[in-house]
């Protein structure tokens, strides 16, 4: 067996040798809150970890000026100050392909701590899992990158191609950090995002649009409610019509990687505000929701589709004809994106996974939006997602990642780097 044939085994041993250190690093990361918009303290810890891993490290904050042409992606309300992105570089010897490894450092809120079996910022270990907000989505993915790079050094592996690690802010509300990273010129021959995919290879991500719908009524005392017009009652047929639209889309959409996904393009209303007094007919209602897209769909087309359906429903009601609902698109808008299943980076990740596990990875799409779209659509980089963890426990109480899966992902990324960037040694 030649040295290259034995490389996956060498790298796997190097990852295992740092098992406790890798677990400890993720625990330390989980213990530093980094809710979207407030990533600064955690970014400092990430920069220190990058330097300890031997990466040439820089930090930068996005500016409104550079992002302003792309506000439809990140939203008008994005904050910029105190939210540094962290970039680490491992220069190669020259002549090899480059790669950009990405993980976002922001998380959603922990929510009610009493709903958790463990403190959401404890990094507790139970049953072979590390618990805490961000453990799965996606501080575990960031640790995967760092541990893989350390394994290369421990195994004495030099790379011909450059490796860039981008720890970016704001993914949860539009991808401000990934967008700024690309605009600053950080690009490569391919990109890998270690989102929690359950070790599946993901070459396609869904998109999502966030909308706000305002319905007007007329206030009146509840004792004479017929003199008023309830905005809530006027909203109900609109809501029902949107559910019909969701069912129509689910029945008509087709994509080979979405055949086994139950909710290909879900439409959900997550927030409704109406009325200000129990005995007053509500004069207004504001509803906000999310609509999914699949690769191949254009955001503008779907926005027009929804607007047309709302207008169609309103035209059937005399009050709404005179007082049409107002539909707007708010926050970050996520376009869908995909790369060919047989693209070089997809094949390389599959080879690396097979070299570590002995079997080919599951290949599937995800219905949620992610930063992959920025790297593919804006950066022009082929990009796939692959990582430990299950998105089904992300954003939820008792979020966790399985330690063995974390190490498997780390071994896979290490082998990917050795293959893609042309290992020597």
Verify cis geometry, omega within 30 degrees of 0, for the bond prior to 138: yes
CATH-assigned architecture of domain 207-329: 2-Layer Sandwich (3.30)
Q: Which tokens go with 331?
A: 């926050």
Block residue for tokens 């596990």: 357
Instruction: Tell me the pLDDT of the chain (425 aa) as tens digits.
Output: 444 558 999 999 999 999 999 999 999 999 999 999 999 999 999 999 999 999 999 999 999 999 988 877 776 667 899 999 999 999 999 999 999 999 999 999 999 999 999 999 999 999 999 999 999 999 999 999 999 999 999 999 999 999 999 999 999 988 999 999 999 999 999 999 999 999 999 999 999 999 999 999 999 999 999 999 999 999 999 999 999 999 999 999 999 999 989 899 999 999 999 999 999 999 999 999 999 999 999 999 999 999 999 999 999 999 999 999 999 999 878 999 999 999 999 999 999 999 999 999 999 999 988 999 999 999 999 999 999 999 999 999 999 999 999 999 999 999 999 999 997 66
User: Where are the chain's structural domains?
Assistant: 7-205+336-424, 207-329
Contact 166, 138 (CB under 8 A): no
Report domain 7-205+336-424's class: alpha beta
Q: Which tokens go with 83?
A: 């939210």
């Amino acid at each position: 067996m030649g040295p290259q044939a034995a490389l996956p085994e060498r790298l796997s041993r190097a990852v295992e040798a740092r098992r406790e250190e890798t677990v400890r690093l993720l625990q330390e990361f989980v213990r530093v809150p980094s809710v979207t918009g407030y990533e600064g303290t955690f970014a400092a810890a990430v920069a220190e970890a990058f330097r300890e891993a031997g990466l040439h490290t820089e930090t930068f904050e996005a500016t409104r000026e550079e992002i302003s042409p792309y506000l439809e992606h990140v939203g008008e309300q994005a904050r910029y100050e105190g939210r540094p992105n962290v970039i680490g570089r491992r220069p190669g010897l020259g002549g090899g392909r480059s790669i950009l490894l990405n993980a976002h450092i922001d998380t959603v809120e922990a929510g009610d701590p009493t709903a958790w079996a463990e403190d959401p910022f404890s990094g507790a270990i139970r049953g072979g899992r590390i618990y805490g907000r961000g453990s799965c989505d996606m501080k575990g993915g960031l640790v995967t990158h760092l541990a893989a790079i350390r394994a290369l050094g421990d195994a004495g592996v030099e790379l011909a191609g450059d490796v860039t690690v981008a720890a970016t802010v704001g993914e949860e509300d539009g991808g401000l950090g990934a967008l700024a990273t690309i605009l600053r010129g950080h690009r490569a021959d391919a990109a890998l995002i270690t989102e929690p995919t359950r070790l599946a290879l993901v070459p396609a991500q869904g998109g999502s649009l966030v909308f706000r719908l305002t319905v007007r009524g007329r206030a009146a005392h509840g004792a004479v409610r017929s003199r008023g017009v309830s905005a809530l009652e006027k909203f109900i047929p609109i809501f029902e019509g949107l559910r019909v639209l969701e069912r129509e889309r689910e029945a008509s959409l087709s994509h080979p990687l979405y055949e086994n996904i139950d909710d290909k393009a879900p439409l959900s209303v997550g927030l409704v505000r109406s009325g200000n007094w129990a005995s007053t007919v509500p004069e207004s209602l504001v509803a906000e929701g999310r609509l999914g897209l699949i690769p191949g769909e254009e955001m503008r087309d779907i926005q027009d589709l929804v607007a047309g359906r709302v207008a169609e429903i309103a035209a059937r009601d005399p009050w709404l004809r005179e007082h049409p609902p107002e539909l707007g698109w708010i926050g970050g808008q996520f376009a869908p994106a995909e790369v060919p299943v047989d693209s070089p980076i997809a094949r390389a990740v599959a080879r690396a996974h097979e070299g570590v596990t002995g079997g080919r990875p599951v290949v599937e799409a995800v219905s949620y939006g992610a930063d992959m779209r920025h790297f593919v659509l804006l950066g022009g980089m082929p990009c796939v997602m692959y990582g430990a963890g299950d998105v089904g426990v992300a954003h939820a109480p008792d979020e966790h990642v399985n330690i063995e899966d974390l190490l498997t992902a780390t071994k896979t990324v290490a082998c990917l780097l050795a293959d893609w960037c042309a290992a020597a040694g």
